Amino acid sequence: MKKKVATILLLLIGSLFVSGNQSPVIWEAKVPGIVESVKLTPKGAYVGFGYIDVISGVLWYRGNVSLYSLNGSEEWSQEVGFVRKLESFDDMLIVGTDISRGPSDWFGALGKVWLLQGNGSIVAGNITYGSFFDFDLKDALYVVDGWWVGEGRANETWGRLYRWEIAEDGIKQDWFIELNGTLGRVRRGDGIIYAGSGAPSGYRIKYYFGNVYGVSEDGKLLWSVDTEWWVRDLELWRDKALVGTGFENVAGKLFLIDKEGKIEWKMDSFYIEDIEINGDTAYIGGIEGNTGKLEALDLNSQKVLWKAELPYRVKVVRFHEGKLLVGTGAFREENGTIYDMGCSLNDNYRNI
């Protein structure tokens, strides 16, 4: 299968929000794959990318994590699989990847979470027995995976929530719990772990279902809330789960769920892809039909402060020093679901 080539553009935040024709691009580098994760640190930009190989009917997920200096030179690159998420941890890096999807008619087979040193050398790795989707690093590492077969009916999907301890010599499993539904999001609260199920962001299946699960610190299921539609994102606000769902690119709902599993409120929305919380304001991105949507929501009053429409689906929203960085992309299905074009929102469009 021919690799897709993506371009990394490093944007100087101070220059991104300028008027006129001044370009915010400092440097660019092409990588043989799709860039899904970037982490900026004082050392430079850690970049994770991936692509798919098909060998004898088996889908192999390839990819690297690389470190680029802030002047654009590649310092090192390590092959790990298709990178979905990465975070820095002390002087190390945690990288969540997919490795194999198995036969083309079987979704989800194998993922892996790696612990790397700052120079790119691998310290250790732990297998996930479904496709890797998300992790949260707090007192320990909480990881979720998932897989489905057939057309993705609710009884054809599974997922696991793992709790792993990170030590100097590697990653050690404490416990895991298997839950119904592909698990695409996990967040560690105070005395509770929230996990969300459904088709994870970036994928589609035929049937709609979703749950938010509350799991105890020792790995016991405490409660579940049926969201009806896929959980696309889940973030914490005042130690409660703010949950966004989606249905057929046209509609979604937003829930606030406390640690006892009680829905404090819910409201109709567009198809939600990403939630970013700053203080008591949630910045919510997604799509409605063919139009990208972005809104700011006051979480105390549940009132929309402002709305904006953008080209393509709003896939990523990040708050930085009073500004929003917003990434968008067209969503099409070809050899799996991919984003094939996009743009970024800058101050010339909306200054908050």
For the entire predicted model, the pTM comes to 0.87
- Over the stretch 275-322, which tens digit does the pLDDT of each residue have? 999 999 999 999 999 899 999 999 999 999 999 998 888 888 888 778
Long-range pairs, 35-44, Cβ under 8 A, ≥24:
35/6, 35/8, 36/82, 36/83, 36/84, 36/85, 37/83, 37/84, 37/85, 37/86, 38/8, 39/86, 39/87, 39/88, 39/93, 41/88, 43/67, 43/118, 44/68, 44/69, 44/70, 44/75
pLDDT band at 19 (very low <50, low <70, confident <90, very high): very low
Quote the pLDDT of residue 352. Answer: 35
Percent of the chain scoring above 90 in pLDDT = 52
pLDDT band at 13 (very low <50, low <70, confident <90, very high): very low
Quote the pLDDT of residue 4. Answer: 53
pLDDT (mean) for 31-57:
84
Quote the pLDDT of residue 121. Answer: 94
- Over the stretch 79-135, which tens digit does the pLDDT of each residue have? 999 999 999 888 889 999 998 776 555 555 689 999 999 899 999 999 998 889 999
* pLDDT over threshold 60, residue 351: no
- The DSSP result for 177-230, as a single string, is EEEES-EEEEEE-SS-EEEEESSPTT---SS---EEEEE-TTS-EEEEEE-SSE
pLDDT (mean) for 337-346:
48
Question: How do strand 291-298 and strand 303-310 relate by DSSP bridges?
Answer: antiparallel
Q: For residue 112, is it left (φ>0), alpha (ψ between -120 and 50) or beta?
A: beta
Weakest-pLDDT range from 175-179, 200-204, 225-229:
200-204
* pLDDT over threshold 90, residue 335: no
Quote the pLDDT of residue 55. Answer: 80
